[in-house]
C-alpha cells in the first residue's frame, strides 16, 4: 500500500488505536496531522516516531466535539501540508453506565465526541476533498454499534450513528471520488479497555472465536487498506476487526 504524497488527519492520533493508525499511514508514506485534545506529550512522541519513518508530521490540539476547533484542525492540516486527502475519525470516549443510572450529561458527552466530532471533521474536510475530487474518510466505529452492549447505550448509539452517517456520506460523496468507510474494532488492547474489570475481560474473551484481544496495529492495517488505491471501489462499508466476535 503506497500512500506517498497523501496527507492524513487522524483525530485522537496521539495514543492507542489512533497512534497505531498514524504510524501505519506514515509507514505507507503519508504525511500525518496528529490531533489530540489533552495528551500533548503522547501526540509529540507519535509525531517524532512518524518523522523518524521519514514523513512530515505535525500535532494540532483540538477538541473535535467543538465545531470551530474541528474546522480549525482541518484548516491547519491544509495550510501545513497543502491538502487533506485522508481523514480518520478515531477520537472517542466512553462514559459507561446502565440506562437507569446514566446521566444525560454522560449520554451527550459521548455523542458529542464520538458522533458529532466525526460529523464536524467530515463537514470541514469534504469541501476541499470535493474540489480535489479525491478523499478517503475512515470512521472508527465499534462492534458495540452493531450488537449493542449492556452499560454502553450512549457509546453504542454513537457508534451505530457513525455507521448510518458514513453510509449517507458515502452516497453523497461517491461521485466526487470520495469514499467513506467504517472500521468496527472488537476488543482491542488499549487504555480504553485496560480499565475494564478482570471478570468483564474474561467474559468478553469467551465471545471472541480467536480467543484473544486485538492489537491497535490490527485496526491500523484496515485503515491503511481503506486509505489506499486498493480500496478505491469500496465505499459505505463496515469492516469488523474483531477476531470473529460480531459475526
Ligand atoms: P483511547 O482511550 O486509548 O484513546 C482515545 C483517543 O481519543 C485519544 O487519542 C484521545 O486524545 C482522543 N480523544 C478523546 N476525546 C477527544 C476529543 N474531544 N477531541 C480530540 N481527541 C479526543 O482509546 P482507543 O485507542 O482504544 O480508541 C480509539 C477509537 O477506537 C475510539 O473511537 C474507540 O471508541 C474505538 N474503539 C476502541 C475499541 C477498543 O477495544 N479499544 C473497540 C472499538 C472501538 P486525548 O488523550 O488527547 O484526549
C-beta of 208 in contact with ligand 1 (< 6 A):
no
Gap between the Cα atoms of 6 and 40, Å rounded:
24
Residue 150 cell numbers, joined: 449492556
C-beta of 77 in contact with ligand 1 (< 6 A):
no
C-beta of 140 in contact with ligand 1 (< 6 A):
yes
Nearest CA to ligand 1 atom 2: 192
CA of 152 to the centre of ligand 1 (A): 15
Report the pLDDT value the prediction gives residue 200, as an integer from 0 to 100: 86
DSSP string, 12-50: TTTSHHHHHHHHHHHHTT-EEEEEESS-HHHHHHHHHHH
CA of 98 to the centre of ligand 1 (A): 21
**Is there a catalytic annotation at residue 233?**
no
CA of 19 to the centre of ligand 1 (A): 10
CA of 224 to the centre of ligand 1 (A): 18
Runs of H (alpha helix) within 28-152: 40-53, 67-81, 104-110, 117-132, 143-147
Whether the CB-CB separation of 219 and 185 falls below 8 Å is answered with yes
| Tens of each residue's pLDDT in the chain, 247 residues | 899 999 999 999 999 999 999 999 999 999 999 999 999 999 999 999 999 999 999 999 999 999 999 999 999 999 999 999 999 999 999 999 999 999 999 999 999 999 999 999 999 999 999 999 999 999 999 999 999 999 999 999 999 999 999 999 999 999 999 999 999 999 999 999 988 889 988 989 999 999 999 999 999 999 999 999 999 999 999 999 999 999 9
**Alpha-carbon distance values, 2 to 97, 216, 225, 247 (Å):** 42, 20, 10, 31
Nearest CA to ligand 1 atom 10: 12
C-beta of 120 in contact with ligand 1 (< 6 A):
no
Gap between the Cα atoms of 72 and 68, Å rounded:
6
Gap between the Cα atoms of 98 and 112, Å rounded:
19
What spatial distance separates the first Cα and last Cα of the chain, rounded to whole Å?
27
| Catalytic residue (one of 155, 187, 225, 226) | 155
Residue 159 cell numbers, joined: 457508534
User: pTM of whole model > 0.85?
Assistant: yes
Amino acid at each position: 500500500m503506497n500512500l506517498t504524497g497523501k496527507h492524513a488527519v487522524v483525530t485522537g492520533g496521539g495514543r492507542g488505536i489512533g497512534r497505531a493508525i498514524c504510524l501505519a499511514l506514515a509507514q505507507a508514506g503519508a504525511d500525518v496531522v496528529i490531533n489530540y485534545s489533552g495528551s500533548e506529550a503522547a501526540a509529540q512522541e507519535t509525531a517524532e516516531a512518524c518523522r523518524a519513518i521519514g514523513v512530515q508530521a505535525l500535532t494540532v490540539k483540538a477538541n473535535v466535539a467543538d465545531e470551530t476547533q474541528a474546522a480549525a484542525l482541518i484548516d491547519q492540516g491544509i495550510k501545513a501540508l497543502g491538502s487533506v486527502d485522508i481523514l480518520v475519525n478515531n477520537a472517542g470516549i466512553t462514559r459507561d453506565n446502565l440506562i437507569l443510572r446514566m446521566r444525560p450529561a454522560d449520554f451527550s458527552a459521548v455523542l458529542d465526541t464520538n458522533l458529532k466530532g466525526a460529523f464536524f471533521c467530515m463537514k470541514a474536510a469534504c469541501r476541499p476533498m470535493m474540489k480535489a475530487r479525491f478523499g478517503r474518510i475512515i470512521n472508527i466505529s465499534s462492534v458495540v454499534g452493531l450488537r449493542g452492549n449492556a452499560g454502553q447505550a450512549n457509546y453504542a448509539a454513537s457508534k451505530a450513528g457513525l455507521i448510518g452517517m458514513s453510509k449517507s456520506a458515502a452516497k453523497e460523496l461517491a461521485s466526487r471520488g470520495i469514499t467513506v468507510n467504517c472500521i468496527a474494532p472488537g476488543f482491542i488492547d488499549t487504555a480504553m479497555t485496560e480499565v475494564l474489570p478482570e471478570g468483564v475481560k474474561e467474559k468478553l474473551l469467551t465471545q471472541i472465536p480467536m480467543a484473544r484481544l486485538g492489537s491497535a496495529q490490527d485496526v491500523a492495517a484496515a485503515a491503511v487498506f481503506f486509505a489506499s488505491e486498493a480500496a478505491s471501489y469500496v465505499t459505505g462499508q463496515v469492516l469488523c476487526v474483531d477476531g470473529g466476535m460480531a459475526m
